[in-house]
Structure 1
Amino acid sequence: MSLVENPQSRFYHSRGLRLHYLDWGNVDAPLLILIHGGLEHARVWDQLARQLCADWHVVVPDLRGHGDSDWSTGGAYAIPDFVPDIAALVAELGDRPTTLVAHSLGGNIAVHYTALFPERVNRLCVIEGLGFSPEARAKRDAKSRREQLREWVERVRELDRLGPSEYPSVEAAVERLMGHDPLLSRELAEYVCKRGLKPNDNGQWRWKYDHQIRGFGAAEVASVEASDLWQAIECPVLLMYGAESWASNPQDDGRIRHFAQAQVVSIADAGHNLHHHQPQVFMQYLQNFLTAAS
């Protein structure tokens, strides 16, 4: 089989939205779905997808509000809002058992989907996608639900006021991205920006995501830990963390105990975007996990 250089762009529908995904071919191979993080897009997985598509039918969605997918009217971007979209995508692909690899927001969505439909997921790799650490959750919940809800309303009102970020050029966006994530290579930053920006009528450039995603959703105000969902996951789970990340490692904070069969890997010299910071090391761990006996 010849390797695919450029995937097919396809669309499906979920809850009134037209959602986009990339299909890397090899449809007779086992299904592998890659789910990007918040404020990203499907093309951030291109390098990994090219390495995997010889052995897998790789499919990469743009989450609602991201990339070439529709935006949600009214800012429906809480974690539960995304889960039916993944269920609709799996149905679009023939309701086949799948393996999920997902980052950050995408990881949280993948965890929820796997917990609700454990019979449909063979393996799950989550890159820093378990949400609030116990410490962060305790700090948040020191405030009353009323206080948290008011802060959320004020945050989304501020997003309305500010509107989306704009840049005079793609190069300016690259500099901003690298300033936010200094462990990212310039080559990858340029690749992500060129495929993740679109021009405005005023000559400025803006990201191809709905800025309201930054407001999350009211459903997440004073939300409980999802450990009851984690306990429902039956398949092998790989939880990956960057040693330089702000995220709390579940091996250290105790959340690992809620998973029936999970392993935690910490990657040195990597942060929240560890699959971008140390792609070869990440790929080695991932390949070992994907090919391990159950």
Structure 2
Amino acid sequence: MKNQLGPTSNRFVSQRLRLHYVDWGNSEAPPLILQHGGRDHCRSWDWVAEELRRDWHVICPDLRGHGDSEWSPEGHYGMDAFVYDFAQLVHTLGHEQVTIVAHSLGGNIATRFTGLYPEKVAKFVNIEGLGPPPGLRRQQEEEGAGDRLRKWIEDKRKASGRTVRKYASLRDAYQRMKEENGFLTDEQARHLTIHGATRNEDGTWSWKFDNYLNVWTASDLPTDHVTALWQAITCPTLMLWGKDSFASSPAGDGRMDYFPSARLIEYENAGHWLHHDQFDRFMGDVKAFLK
């Protein structure tokens, strides 16, 4: 039976955390996971989900520390934890195979999952989700473990003392959202703000994500191990990049060479959130690829 209303909220447990996802119904259809990126939330996919829900069983999870998922008590947001959470979601849903569309941090997580379990993924759309280019990663690794760990400790201490930014009204939070991404329409910014902010006890508003997310892990896999996971992917893969994004395109830094089954499309007049910035074109490309 197809649910024509909005999505329903659900929970699953991963590493003792209660993590949230929304389910758009149509459970008899093939499963499609839409995974958001850093400091975002599952309802940022609503426009995409509305377009795909008739043909797919759409599931949109909130990463740990994001949206309506619980925050890690120790502020642990390493890639190992994120990948485990994603694997646990797929395991909990009980599907033999899933299709994935993932953005930014979510794309980085889903790419590793797809390399770890290539038989579990039918098709994969990656929106600017590969993390830093290998050259930059290797440069960071050459700094030495001691320097990286000391900086990580210092940054974690700073995060522990940082107060959550508060906005006097949802309107103020909305204005901040508009400042951050000039490509957003008023309607998009309003929707993202309503679902991305929560009210504090004193009546002010703050974003739902955990401040500890601003501190990147100091103990990720070595670059060569990450690229080996990329090379293990066997399913058809579509890479999407915005030409006005801060994220460098894999076309120019050699990363496409690690994905023999992937195709890259670059979007004019689109930044990092190209699925918002060029929605109609994005939906056309994704529907054609998933068909």
1:252 is displaced (CA, Å) by 1.4
Question: How is 1:218-229 mapped onto 2 (pairs within 5 angstroms)?
Answer: 218-220=218-220, 223-225=222-224, 226-229=226-229
- Count of equivalent residues: 290
TM-score (norm 2): 0.95
Question: How is 1:1-294 mapped onto 2 (pairs within 5 angstroms)?
Answer: 4-141=4-141, 143-220=143-220, 223-225=222-224, 226-291=226-291
CA contact (8 A) 2:12 2:19 kept: yes
1:8 is displaced (CA, Å) by 1.1
Counterpart CA distance in 1 for 2:229 and 2:166 is 38
The 10-residue stretch of structure 1 (92-101 or 16-25) with the greater mean CA deviation from structure 2: 92-101
CA contact (8 A) 1:242 1:274 kept: yes
**Which amino acid in 1 is paired with 2:236?**
P
Structure 1 residues 97 and 2: alpha-carbon distance in aligned structure 2, compared to 1, 3 A threshold: closer
Any idea what the Cα deviations from partners look like across 1:210-238, whole Å, max 9, x if unmatched?
A: 11111122323x84251111011110111
CA contact (8 A) 2:36 2:45 kept: yes
**Which amino acid in 2 is paired with 1:189?**
A
Counterpart CA distance in 2 for 1:259 and 1:290 is 18
Counterpart CA distance in 1 for 2:96 and 2:6 is 24
Mind listing any 5+ residue stretches in structure 2 that lack a counterpart? Answer: none
Counterpart CA distance in 1 for 2:142 and 2:182 is 33
TM-score (norm 1): 0.94
Counterpart CA distance in 2 for 1:142 and 1:109 is 24
Counterpart CA distance in 1 for 2:238 and 2:25 is 25
CA contact (8 A) 1:4 1:50 kept: no
Mind listing any 5+ residue stretches in structure 1 that lack a counterpart? Answer: none
Counterpart CA distance in 1 for 2:199 and 2:177 is 17
SS in 2 for 1:230: helix
Counterpart CA distance in 2 for 1:4 and 1:139 is 50
